[in-house]
């Protein structure tokens, strides 16, 4: 089904179950990629052994000085070429993303567009890696701050955005003068191979060292190698809070840097002044888009009691219209979960909802029969719950939406929203200016992302992406996120004929 796309991406050999044989993909055990769309094997990638990993690090060490010495705008030119290649291959790469991960084809195309957008952003940023000039207290002295490349950046990405999140890190790290080593998800290895191949071709065409961008494949053990390696200045990790804590402790133990983008437990507050048509659209897409497997998926709707029944009815009616099936069929709204383990977690969550006293308004269940042979397709769930339930406090990567009622002023809803361990994305639906501003104030949402009259999903690359609390505190993508990939240096230049000391200290010889 996907052979034509793999061939167009230059990785058609993988369809036959063989490794490409390049140093990026290793000589270890084979990882078979199964599509959650139909359960069929797409191909295999050889995992990285420790020997393979060390070869990749040696290549990165060799390449980092060459790459750092190239002026930043010239590095931006390489990223521009990468973005142009992504434009050429958008349709086929988007289809691979959809087929290997299970998200809708439209979302697959959107993910590749995110890659293109961050390349465009990074190209402009390559001419704006600004430092600061500072007035010295000493006469005939000049102070300034500048930024230098870190060296080697390790990137650990998750299955749910198998290409876009890597590109957020890769594009910025590259224009900052860093070389990159990527450990993609073992659940979506072909997406990682495809992206690495595209970027490697650009580097080769420009006669640049291969070690500027490398890929290692495998399970959590390979990620552990990255976290433990003192040669890697920064490890950027996207995934669960549990995984992020392990990475953070390991990297901190060697006094390295980590950039963490972890779990979300995202809520939309719906006030009596909300535009309910917009609310329903935002909530449904936020809850079922990517089958609830976004870190920004809408998990909770916190609804004022005066409109609770109206919103509940509109939502349950809307869920009756959701079409579930092959994500490459554009008539379908929702595809499968990533694998049967995810389905099991979904079923366990439903049991916990019932055990804690929740009411299932849309009961869910695993879909069977023609078109659902992979056993990864499920019905989305709507449940009435209390915010304090243990299961509600947990991030479940599945299309489960919790309805929570609030009374009184919007401050009460904000308090409920903030009463979870995670702090990634949040939203309020209201046409009341006071409510919107309270939500965005210092005493409002405690999340890294706070939206008004849009949902919790769908961040643009121009803004910094990330969250607080157990979401990890990292920021990727836009704004001044580039600073995470560089080291800051303060410089003082004395152009006088004497040596005055700071703070007026006298030290005469």
179 φ/ψ angles, rounded to the nearest 5 degrees: -100, 155
Identify the sign of the CA torsion 405, 411, 417, 421: negative
C-alpha 191: how far from its chain's center? 15
Q: For the residues of 86-137, what is the DSSP string, one character each?
A: HHHTHHHHHHHHHHHH---HHHHHHHHHHHHHHHHHHHHHTT----EEEE-S
| Burial per residue of 337-366, b for 16 or more beta-carbon CB atoms within 10 angstroms, e otherwise | bbbbebbeebeebbebbeeeebeebbebeb
Find the catalytic residue in 5, 107, 261, 435: 261
Query: 112 near 92, Cβ under 8 Å?
Result: no
List CB contacts of 350: < 8 A, sequence separation 6 or more: 360, 363, 364, 381, 400
Residue labelled with tokens 């002295």: 141
CA–CA dist 113, 206 (Å, integer): 24
DSSP state of 40: -
Q: How many C-alpha atoms does 48 have within 13 Å on its Cβ side? A: 33
For residue 21, the SS3 value is coil
| List of E strands, 108-210 | 132-135, 141-149, 152-156, 179-183
Cβ count within 10 A of residue 276 = 13
222 φ/ψ angles, rounded to the nearest 5 degrees: -65, -40
CA–CA dist 256, 254 (Å, integer): 5
Q: Which helix (H) or strand (E) holds 34?
A: strand 30-34
C-alpha 137: how far from its chain's center? 44
Q: Catalytic: 261?
A: yes
Give the CA diameter of the chain.
91
- Closest residue by Cα to residue 378 from 407, 402, 344: 344
CA–CA dist 179, 156 (Å, integer): 14
Distances (CA, A) of 33 to 25, 42, 47, 58, 416: 14, 6, 12, 28, 41
- Specify the length of the chain in residues: 509
Q: Which residues are annotated as catalytic? A: 261
């Amino acid at each position: 089904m996907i052979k034509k796309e793999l061939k167009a991406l230059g990785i058609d050999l993988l369809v036959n179950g063989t490794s490409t044989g390049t140093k990026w993909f290793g000589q270890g055990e084979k990882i078979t990629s199964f599509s959650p769309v139909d359960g069929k094997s797409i191909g295999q990638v050889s995992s990285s052994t420790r020997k393979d990993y060390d070869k990749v690090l040696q290549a990165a060490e060799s390449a980092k000085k060459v790459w750092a010495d190239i002026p930043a705008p010239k590095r931006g030119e390489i990223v521009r070429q990468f973005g142009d290649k992504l434009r050429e291959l958008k349709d086929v790469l988007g289809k691979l993303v959809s087929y290997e991960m299970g998200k809708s084809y439209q979302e697959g195309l959107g993910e590749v567009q995110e890659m293109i957008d961050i390349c465009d952003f990074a190209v402009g940023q390559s001419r704006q890696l600004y430092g600061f000039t500072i007035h010295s207290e000493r006469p005939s002295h000049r102070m300034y701050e500048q930024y230098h490349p870190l060296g080697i950046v390790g990137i650990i990405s998750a299955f749910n955005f198998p290409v876009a999140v890597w590109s957020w890190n890769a594009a910025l790290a590259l224009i900052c003068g860093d070389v990159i080593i990527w450990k993609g998800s073992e659940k979506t290895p072909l997406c990682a191979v495809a992206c690495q191949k595209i970027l490697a071709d650009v580097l080769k065409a420009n006669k640049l060292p291969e070690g500027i961008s490398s890929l290692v494949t495998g399970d959590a053990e390979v990620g552990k190698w990255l976290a433990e390696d003192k040669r890697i200045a920064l490890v950027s990790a996207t995934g669960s809070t549990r995984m992020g804590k392990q990475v953070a402790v390991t990297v901190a133990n060697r006094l390295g840097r980590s950039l963490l983008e972890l779990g979300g437990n995202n809520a939309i507050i719906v006030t009596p002044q909300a535009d309910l048509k917009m609310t329903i659209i935002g909530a449904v897409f936020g809850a079922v888009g990517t089958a609830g497997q976004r870190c920004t998926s809408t998990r909770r709707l916190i609804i004022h009691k005066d409109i609770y029944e109206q919103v509940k009815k509109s939502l349950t009616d809307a869920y009756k219209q959701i079409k579930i099936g092959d994500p490459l069929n554009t008539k379908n709204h929702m595809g499968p979960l990533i694998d049967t383990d995810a389905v099991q977690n979904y079923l366990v969550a439903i049991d916990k909802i019932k055990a804690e006293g929740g009411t299932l308004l849309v009961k869910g269940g695993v879909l069977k029969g023609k078109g659902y042979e992979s056993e990864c397709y499920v019905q989305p769930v709507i449940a009435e719950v209390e915010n304090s339930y243990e299961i509600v406090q947990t991030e479940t990567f599945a299309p489960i939406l919790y309805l929570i009622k609030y009374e009184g002023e919007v401050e009460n809803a904000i308090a409920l929203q903030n009463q979870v361990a995670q702090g990634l994305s949040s939203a309020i639906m209201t046409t009341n200016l006071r409510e919107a501003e309270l939500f965005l104030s210092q005493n409002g949402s405690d999340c890294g992302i706070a939206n008004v009259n849009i949902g919790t999903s769908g961040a643009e690359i121009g803004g910094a992406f990330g969250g607080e609390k157990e979401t990890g505190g990292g920021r990727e993508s836009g704004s001044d996120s580039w600073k995470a990939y560089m080291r800051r240096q303060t410089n003082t230049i004395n152009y006088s004929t004497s040596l005055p000391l700071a703070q007026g200290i006298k030290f005469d010889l």
